[in-house]
């Protein structure tokens, strides 16, 4: 198992370095998550960047649907504060390799999110953003899992932007979950951000990130 994880990480690291450009690896993001039943808090900070945010989440189940209500408060030193209310709806989760006794190691999930980005500074335009969220996850065993997530995003009602159906950018993550114990999970990942359809999905940036989660 350790050999398989090492091969996966080595291949991914070498591929990322070969694909690197001038805007890659200039910063890294680090998340700290606390989950208790239906409540959650996310703190994000960056290395070599002044942006940081705190996000507060609550899960509800209207008519049996899985919906998360959240508010993000973000600050960029020397810039503005942002308030970002958002709704995330999980459409389904499918385990194609499940049996009568087990869910199986592979899961596929699909969801979507609508959010409103509101800034204190008049120089920044407020706008709506919608995204689709697709995730593929494969459990190697009880402690380890590899995963990939793709999030195409669309911007609406922003000055200078057309309200069309063209994708404005695509955020993609590939990572590894390491379950340290019953409560703590550590997840290193690499994030690739692509420009939208108008720029032929050219690579915008790439960076390293981590998630440290505590679930009670």
Q: What per-residue confidence (pLDDT) applies to 53?
A: 96
Residue of 44, 51, 112 whose CA lies nearest to 82: 51
- The DSSP symbol for 33 reads E
> Kindly report the CA angle at 110 between 69 and 41, in degrees rounded to 5?
30
Q: What per-residue confidence (pLDDT) applies to 77?
A: 74
Q: What per-residue confidence (pLDDT) applies to 76?
A: 86
Q: What per-residue confidence (pLDDT) applies to 71?
A: 98
pLDDT by 10-residue block (mean), the chain, 216 residues: 59 60 89 97 96 97 94 86 96 93 93 95 86 97 96 88 85 97 97 94 95 97
Residue of 139, 150, 145 whose CA lies nearest to 95: 139
Domains (ranges, CATH) in the chain? 2-215 (2.40.160)
Q: What per-residue confidence (pLDDT) applies to 124?
A: 83
Q: What per-residue confidence (pLDDT) applies to 21?
A: 73
- The DSSP symbol for 48 reads T
Tokens 């919906």, residue located: 67
> Distance between terminal CA atoms of the chain?
27
What pTM did the predictor assign? 0.89
Q: What per-residue confidence (pLDDT) applies to 20?
A: 65
Residue 67 pairs in a beta bridge with 60, 89
Q: What per-residue confidence (pLDDT) applies to 47?
A: 95
Please report the beta strands in the chain, taking only residues with DSSP state E, as ranges in sequence order.
28-36, 39-47, 51-60, 66-76, 81-94, 106-119, 127-139, 144-156, 169-179, 184-195, 203-215
**32-39 long-range contacts, Cβ below 8 Å, gap at least 24?**
32/212, 33/211, 33/212, 33/213, 33/214, 34/213, 34/214, 34/216, 35/213, 35/214, 35/215, 35/216, 36/215, 36/216, 37/216
Distance of alpha carbon 216 from alpha carbon 214, whole angstroms: 7
Q: What per-residue confidence (pLDDT) applies to 105?
A: 95
> Kindly report the CA angle at 127 between 45 and 56, in degrees rounded to 5?
40
State whether residue 168 is helix, strand or coil: coil
Q: What per-residue confidence (pLDDT) applies to 125?
A: 87
């Amino acid at each position: 198992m350790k050999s398989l994880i090492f091969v996966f990480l080595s291949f991914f690291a070498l591929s990322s370095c070969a694909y690197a450009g001038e805007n890659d690896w200039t910063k890294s993001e680090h998340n700290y998550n606390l989950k208790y039943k239906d409540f959650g808090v996310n703190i994000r900070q960056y290395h070599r960047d002044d942006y940081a945010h705190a996000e507060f989440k609550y899960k509800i189940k209207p008519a049996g649907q899985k919906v998360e209500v959240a508010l993000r408060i973000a600050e960029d030193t020397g810039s503005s504060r942002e308030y970002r209310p958002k709704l995330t709806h999980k459409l389904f989760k499918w385990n194609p390799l499940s049996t009568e006794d087990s869910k199986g190691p592979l899961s596929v999930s699909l969801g979507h999110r609508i959010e409103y980005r509101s800034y204190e500074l008049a120089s920044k335009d407020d706008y709506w953003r919608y995204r689709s969220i697709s995730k593929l996850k494969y459990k190697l065993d009880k402690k380890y899992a590899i995963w990939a997530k793709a999030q195409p995003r669309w911007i609406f009602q922003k000055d200078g932007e057309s309200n069309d159906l063209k994708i404005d950018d695509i955020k993609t993550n590939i990572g590894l979950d390491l379950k340290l114990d019953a409560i703590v999970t550590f997840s290193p990942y690499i994030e690739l951000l692509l420009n939208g359809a108008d720029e032929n999905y050219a690579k915008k940036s790439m960076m390293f990130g981590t998630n440290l989660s505590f679930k009670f």
